[in-house]
Amino acid sequence: MSTQSEACCNTPAVVSKGYEPKGSYITVDGLKTYVTGPQDAKRGILIVYDIFGFFPQTLQGADILSASSSTQVFIPDFFEGSPADISWYPPDTKEKGEKLGAFFQEKAAPPKTLPRIPKILDSLQQSHGVQEWGVVGFCWGGKIVNLASGKDTRFKVAASCHPAMVDPADAENVTIPFAMLPSKDENKEDVEKWEKNIKTPHIVEWFPTQVHGWMAARADLENEEVKKEYERGYKTVLDFFAKNW
């Protein structure tokens, strides 16, 4: 991967509004999948999106990761065209809470997602020649990434950005270098306990001015402070991957 300084210098400019994704869509293990980056790259990054699915801010993040590290980047549509409605978040009414709860039970339960990941990697290794994998997850995807980073994982390095459902016990099973980027909305005590439990090379980089979701679907990139921290978030992930992959 690129060196630390190259990752910082080569990050593409962030487009605040009307972003046009650089990649395309393919089908992988039956799932619509966004793909971006050099087709001859032997390293790949799997992105596990947040519950809102393919949002422009998330696709732009994938393009940033691929352009700044010369990797192929893939985002499978684990929710098969039926992501959560962003209007449900934050779940500050009974109705919103019920809808989100039902979504997590029916669509987003980790046992439904985790078994698909090895099949996706197998398929992409054959079709796109990827030989080594990193993984990045946002919100719900951050939880999936933590669970997918244990014993016998095929990932070499991982990052969890504004992770949902942080569980200190999950850290004990991590076997690869791991970056966690919490927002102001993550539970500080849970994150601190998580960090005490992890045994692999890691960083926990707080973004105390940002809301849960600032690197993905909930990023208000027309706000200059959010845009700056969005850029810093991706640079932090790129730097960590460059040092640990």
What pLDDT, on a 0 to 100 scale, did the predictor assign at position 118?
97
What pLDDT, on a 0 to 100 scale, did the predictor assign at position 86?
87
What pLDDT, on a 0 to 100 scale, did the predictor assign at position 90?
79
Domain count, the chain: 1
Residue range 2-46, pLDDT digits in tens: 333 343 334 466 787 889 999 999 999 999 999 999 999 999 999
Distance CA 14, CA 173 (A): 35
Tell me which DSSP letter residue 39 carries: T
| Residues contacting 125, CB < 8 A, separation 6+ | 131
User: Which CATH number fits the domain that encloses residue 88?
Assistant: 3.40.50.1820
| Tokens 């990827």 sit on residue | 130
Token pair for residue 120?
């996706």
What pLDDT, on a 0 to 100 scale, did the predictor assign at position 12?
60
Is-contact 131 41, C-beta < 8 A?
A: no
Question: Low-confidence residues of the chain, pLDDT below 70?
Answer: 1-13
Distance CA 186, CA 206 (A): 9
> Domain span at residue 56?
4-244
| Residues contacting 30, CB < 8 A, separation 6+ | none
